[in-house]
A and B are shown apart, each in its own frame.
Chain A
Amino acid sequence: MAKARPEALSRYLVEDPAALVAALEANLELRHGKTTRQRRTFLDTFDGSLYRKGALLAASRRGKGWELTWSERGRGPRASASCERLPTFADTLPAGPIAAGLATVVGIRSLLPIAEIQGRVRHLEVLDKRRKIVARLSLAEYDPKDAATSLLRLEPVKGYGAAAATLRALLAGLEGVSETHDGELERACAAAGRPVGVDPSEFRPRFGASDDTGEAIRQALGRLLEIVRIHRDGTVRDLDSEFLHDLRVAVRRARSILSLLRDYLPKRPRQRLAAELKWLGGVTGPTRDLDVYLLKLDDYRAPLSAPVQGQLDPLLELLAKRRRQEQKRLARALRSQRFEALLERWQDFCEEPRKEPETASLEVRETAGRLLRKARKRLLRKGRAISDESPDEALHRLRIDGKKLRYLLELFRSLFPASDMKRVLRALKGLQDVLGDFNDLCVHQQAIAELAAELDDANALMATGRLIEHLAARAEGERQRFAERFADLDSPRLDEIFRRFEGRGAK
Chain B
Amino acid sequence: MKIFACYSIKGGVGKTAAAVNLAWQSANGGARTLIWDLDPQAASTFYFRIAAKVKGGGKKLVRGKTEIDPLIRGTDFLGLDLLPGDFSYRKMDAALESTSKPARQLARLLEPLADEYDHLILDCAPSISRTSESIFVAADALLVPTIPTPLSLRTLEQLANHLRKKGPKRLRLMPFFSMVDRRKSLHREIVANADKRFLRTAIPFSTLVERMGIHRAPLGAYAPRCEPALAYEALWREALARF
Question: Which residues of A line the B interface, CB within 8 A?
Answer: 77-81, 96-98, 130-133, 157-160
Among B5-13, B76-84, B161-169, the stretch that binds chain A is B76-84
Q: How far is the CA of A132 from the CA of B51 in the complex (A)?
A: 10
Among residues of A, the one whose C-beta sits closest to the C-beta of B82 is A159
- Of B32, B49, B50, the contact of A78 (CB 8 Å cutoff): B32
- Of A78, A80, A98, A160, the contact of B73 (CB 8 Å cutoff): A160
Residues of chain B contacted by A96 (CB below 8 angstroms): 29-31
Q: How far is the CA of A133 from the CA of B30 in the complex (A)?
A: 20
Q: How far is the CA of A421 from the CA of B162 in the complex (A)?
A: 65
CB pair A158–B73 under 8 Å, yes or no, is yes
- Expressed in whole angstroms, the minimum distance between the Cβ of A167 and any Cβ of chain B is 15
CB pair B79–A159 under 8 Å, yes or no, is no
Q: Say if the beta carbon of B118 comes within 8 Å of chain A.
A: yes
CB pair B73–A159 under 8 Å, yes or no, is yes
Q: Say if the beta carbon of B74 comes within 8 Å of chain A.
A: yes
CB pair A79–B74 under 8 Å, yes or no, is no
Residues of chain A contacted by B74 (CB below 8 angstroms): 157-160
Q: Say if the beta carbon of B223 comes within 8 Å of chain A.
A: no
Q: Say if the beta carbon of B208 comes within 8 Å of chain A.
A: no
Query: Could you tell me which residues of chain B, from 14 to 65, have a CB within 8 Å of some CB in chain A?
Result: 29-32, 48-51
Q: How far is the CA of A130 from the CA of B72 in the complex (A)?
A: 17
Given A96-B29, A97-B118, A130-B216, 7 more A-B residue pairs with CB atoms under 8 Å apart are: A79-B32, A80-B78, A80-B79, A97-B31, A97-B32, A132-B50, A159-B72
- Expressed in whole angstroms, the minimum distance between the Cβ of A249 and any Cβ of chain B is 35
What total of chain B residues lie within 8 Å of the partner, measured CB to CB?
19
- Expressed in whole angstroms, the minimum distance between the Cβ of A213 and any Cβ of chain B is 52
Q: How far is the CA of A160 from the CA of B50 in the complex (A)?
A: 11
CB pair B73–A77 under 8 Å, yes or no, is no
User: With contacts A80-B78, A159-B73, A160-B73 known, is A97 near B49, CB below 8 A?
Assistant: no
User: With contacts A96-B30, A132-B48, A132-B49 known, is A158 near B72, CB below 8 A?
Assistant: yes
CB pair B79–A133 under 8 Å, yes or no, is no
CB pair B30–A97 under 8 Å, yes or no, is yes
Q: How far is the CA of A96 from the CA of B30 in the complex (A)?
A: 7
Residues of chain B contacted by A98 (CB below 8 angstroms): 30
Interface of B is mostly: loop
User: With contacts A78-B32, A80-B30 known, is A132 near B76, CB below 8 A?
Assistant: yes
Residues of chain B contacted by A160 (CB below 8 angstroms): 73-74
Residues of chain B contacted by A80 (CB below 8 angstroms): 30, 78-79
- Expressed in whole angstroms, the minimum distance between the Cβ of A504 and any Cβ of chain B is 51
Among residues of A, the one whose C-beta sits closest to the C-beta of B51 is A130
Q: How far is the CA of A160 from the CA of B70 in the complex (A)?
A: 10
Q: How far is the CA of A78 from the CA of B36 in the complex (A)?
A: 19
In order of increasing CB-CB distance, the 5 nearest A-B pairs are A159-B73, A158-B74, A132-B49, A157-B74, A130-B49
CB pair A79–B30 under 8 Å, yes or no, is yes
Residues of chain B contacted by A159 (CB below 8 angstroms): 70-74, 81
Residues of chain B contacted by A79 (CB below 8 angstroms): 30-32, 79
Residues of chain A contacted by B79 (CB below 8 angstroms): 78-80
Q: How far is the CA of A96 from the CA of B79 in the complex (A)?
A: 13
- Expressed in whole angstroms, the minimum distance between the Cβ of A55 and any Cβ of chain B is 14
Residues of chain B contacted by A133 (CB below 8 angstroms): 76
Residues of chain B contacted by A130 (CB below 8 angstroms): 49-51, 216
Q: How far is the CA of A228 from the CA of B175 in the complex (A)?
A: 62
- Expressed in whole angstroms, the minimum distance between the Cβ of B105 and any Cβ of chain A is 24
User: With contacts A97-B118, A130-B49, A132-B49 known, is A158 near B30, CB below 8 A?
Assistant: no
- Expressed in whole angstroms, the minimum distance between the Cβ of B158 and any Cβ of chain A is 37
- Expressed in whole angstroms, the minimum distance between the Cβ of B78 and any Cβ of chain A is 6
Q: How far is the CA of A96 from the CA of B29 in the complex (A)?
A: 9
User: With contacts A96-B31, A159-B73, A160-B73 known, is A77 near B78, CB below 8 A?
Assistant: yes
Q: How far is the CA of A18 from the CA of B78 in the complex (A)?
A: 27
Residues of chain A contacted by B71 (CB below 8 angstroms): 159
Q: How far is the CA of A36 from the CA of B71 in the complex (A)?
A: 33
Residues of chain B contacted by A81 (CB below 8 angstroms): 30
Q: How far is the CA of A79 from the CA of B81 in the complex (A)?
A: 13
Query: Could you tell me which residues of chain B, from 209 to 243, have a CB within 8 Å of some CB in chain A?
Result: 216
- Expressed in whole angstroms, the minimum distance between the Cβ of A271 and any Cβ of chain B is 58
Residues of chain A contacted by B29 (CB below 8 angstroms): 96
- Expressed in whole angstroms, the minimum distance between the Cβ of B86 and any Cβ of chain A is 14
- Expressed in whole angstroms, the minimum distance between the Cβ of B47 and any Cβ of chain A is 11
- Expressed in whole angstroms, the minimum distance between the Cβ of B109 and any Cβ of chain A is 18
